[in-house]
Amino acid sequence: MGTTIGNILISYDIDKSHTQVKTALESLGYLETFKHTNDPEIYNLPNTTLWHQQKSSNQAMTDLKTVCANLRVTLEKAITVKGAEFVGY
């Protein structure tokens, strides 16, 4: 479970340093926006939700845990899921 490589979505709650955690994850290739083919609209994900094009759910959780440990941030809860389709508002 959680080993298929592809689009994944990760959402998390932490106790502090939100900007630093997000910046660290973005440096690993995580994105906070997405765009559909043939659609000019760019969609923003909720504040502590990101996605990655080439990770597994397990890899994403490991990345998040590592970033939080390095920044001495408490990871309160998180979920990573394989994302085959995205719809935005």
pLDDT in tens, 5-63: 889 999 999 999 999 999 999 999 999 998 888 888 898 999 999 999 999 999 999 99
Of 69, 79, 70, 85, nearest to 49 (Cα)? 79
Full-model pTM: 0.90
Query: Is residue 58 one of the residues assigned to a domain?
Result: yes
> For residue 50, how many C-alpha atoms fall within 13 Å in the half-sphere facing its CB?
26
Query: Is residue 41 one of the residues assigned to a domain?
Result: yes
Query: Is residue 87 one of the residues assigned to a domain?
Result: no
Query: Is residue 88 one of the residues assigned to a domain?
Result: no
| Domain coverage including residue 56 | 6-82
pLDDT at position 1, please? 61
Query: Is residue 89 one of the residues assigned to a domain?
Result: no
pLDDT at position 71, please? 98
CATH number at residue 44: 3.30.70.2360
Query: Is residue 36 one of the residues assigned to a domain?
Result: yes
What total number of domains does the chain contain?
1
